[in-house]
Amino acid sequence: MKHLRSLLIPLLFSVSSVSSVGQPSSVVPPSILFILADDMGWGDLRCHGNAKLSTPSLDKLRTQSVELEHFYVSPICSPTRSSLLSGRHHARLRVLNTSDGLEVMHGNEVTLAEALKPSGYVSGCFGKWHNGSNHPSTARGQGFDEFFGFSGGFFPNYFDPALEHDGVITPTNGFITDVLADAAMNFIERHKAQPFFCYVPFNACHSPMQAPQDLFEKYHASGSEPKDAAVYAMIENLDRNVGRLLKKLDQLDLAANTIVLFASDNGPNTARFNGGMRGAKGSVFEGGMRVPFFLRWPGQWKAGSRIADIAQHVDVFPTLLELAGVPPPKDKALDGISLVPLLQGSPPSWPQRTLFEITGRGGKDGASVANYPGTARTPTHRWVHDGKQAMLFDLRTDPGEKTNIAAQEPALAAELEKAFLAWLHEATATTRGNVERFPITLTEGTDLLVPNAVRIDGAQLFGKGWDYDWATFQKPTAAMVWHLTVPVAGHYEVSALHTAKNTGGEVRVSMGEIQARTSISTVYDPPEIPRRDLIPRWEVPDKVFKPLSIGTLAIPEGFHDLQVTAGPGIEVQAVRLQRLK
């Protein structure tokens, strides 16, 4: 049928030279500034109809850009980020969730930073990575020359944050979005003489709800309820920093040859204005996945133009590579296609694509659609299975997805469901029946976070396995286990980030017959750290865990399970292993 003329299955594409977009091959390749918001919906812009918000910088950027009006990402953070950076669907990458180790992109995937490097690009990432906290799945491990930010999906404190700078925790002063923008501008200035890829994944407007007080009071006083007032305050602050980044390009005379992208990683994180669309973050309806998407390259495309064709996160990778004149990786089949023909003007023929998406863990057999809240989006319709029932919507007449027409158009509903299942079966072919997270590679220094343990028995997680979560051991047989791969045998010093209400309890770390242990000799029971939360947080609270030296393990090369047991009442946030020289 017309709706399924071209399924979004792995696609290889030919890459034109940079001159295909009007640029002589001898000209310096364009630099790239990619700004990604966090939990910011399509409706979180004044130019998209939100009269409550002030977003002058992004509104102006829209007038200077080509806007893809129907651009889709995943319903949650990590899957979107892996697809944007690799051009491959997150279901294929086994990036299926936002924690529990299922947010990790395998180190053998090729990111934009890695693909651009052989052509002389220098790459920096400034903000929220959320595709792996252990090498080689970190930003540095995935090709970025500089990283400043945090590797997880949640950060507990937005004021004067202590952020990682190339492996070193660094204190800062100011609000986190300002601090990240400062670092990105510094990177741009230092590398203005060469092509750069500056990736700025801000964590605004993700919770916890912390924002500059004056902006919060502005929106609260104007009638927004406190949660939305905090979100809008973070967004206006983000908008100001977008303006600062663009001004820096102007000051350095770089704007003319810098491609600027702006997008968000999923729909809004509260039930607020979103253009009348159904659903929000986590949803496979339009509102959970349709986000702003602006592309600016002065003099190359018609500023202020709008493209109605549907596009998806996996298209960013091949598009940027073509614009940079860089060939795609030879050993990775891509799910995305280059959008360059659309950017240049309406092509004579453009595929009537169907875009597929899932949310949640996924990765199982795929025979039962009830396992996968998922969707198939054609240029005109959306088929949805929300885990309970299948639905079909005609978005031409029902953009709010209010009327399920599956009974009126059973043939189309059945066809889209069949296509979705076929895509899912193919995309998860290498992971089906195996959704365990990737083993953690032991390097010179490795932190094993509690949420990334493959098994937790007899210990209570504070939250739901989110970043910074910890486990309270409740009985002597309680244990946590991590899967490790050890490329280099050696002696490793082992410690645990812990608290303890009583003395005498024991902490033991073991790998089969190899073990180290210590007893608690000092009570350490710190209070929660007061933070500037505008709304009581629903994530894990913040407190300081103290390192507890446990001993030394002689760990051989190979694959191992590392197990930690502890006495009742002992809390552990992470286990640290440091190779001795």
Letter string b/e over residues 38-69, b meaning 16 or more CB atoms within 10 A of that residue's CB: bbbbbbbbbbbebebbbbebbeebbebbbbbe
CA–CA separation, 341 vs 287, rounded Å? 27
- Return the pLDDT at 16: 33
Low-confidence stretches of the chain (pLDDT < 70) are 1-26, 361-371, 431-436, 464-465
DSSP secondary structure code for residue 411 in this structure:
H
Look at residue 22 in the predicted model and tell me its pLDDT. 40
Q: What letter does residue 213 receive in the DSSP assignment?
A: H
Q: Give the pLDDT of residue 432.
A: 54
Measure Cα distances from 290 to 131, 260, 283 in Å: 21, 19, 11
CA distance 65 to 573: 45
Q: How much is the pLDDT for 11?
A: 31
| Confidence at residue 539, expressed as pLDDT on a 0 to 100 scale | 85
* DSSP-derived secondary structure letter, 46: G
CA 81, 84, 86, 92: dihedral to nearest 10 degrees?
70
Model pTM score: 0.93
Nearest to 431 by CA among 137, 86, 92: 92
Task: Indicate the average pLDDT of the chain.
Answer: 91
> Quick one: pLDDT at residue 437?
74
Predicted confidence at residue 569, as pLDDT, reads: 92
Angle between helix axes 176-190 and 226-251 (nearest 10 degrees) is 10
Residue 527 DSSP symbol: P
pLDDT confidence of residue 431: 62
Q: 533-537: which pairs have CB atoms within 8 A and are 24 or more residues apart? A: 533/208, 533/209, 533/210, 534/209, 534/210, 534/211, 534/216, 534/226, 534/229, 534/230, 535/207, 535/208, 535/209, 535/226, 535/227, 535/230, 537/207, 537/208, 537/209
Q: Which residues pair with 37 in a beta bridge?
A: 264
pLDDT at 434: 53
Domain annotation for the chain: domains and CATH numbers = 31-344 (3.40.720.10), 355-427 (3.30.1120.10), 440-579 (2.60.120.260)
Helix residue ranges, H only, 111-170 = 112-116
CA nearest to 33, candidates 370, 258, 368, 348: 258
* Per-residue pLDDT tens over the stretch 183-237: 999 999 999 999 999 999 999 999 999 999 999 999 999 999 999 999 999 999 9
pLDDT of 279: 96
3-state secondary structure of 555: strand
DSSP count for the chain of H helices, then E strands: 11, 28
CA nearest to 87, candidates 268, 329, 286, 306? 329
Predicted pLDDT at 348: 76
Neighbouring C-beta atoms of residue 134, cutoff 10 Å? 23
pLDDT tens digits for range 151-187: 999 999 999 999 999 999 999 999 999 999 999 999 9
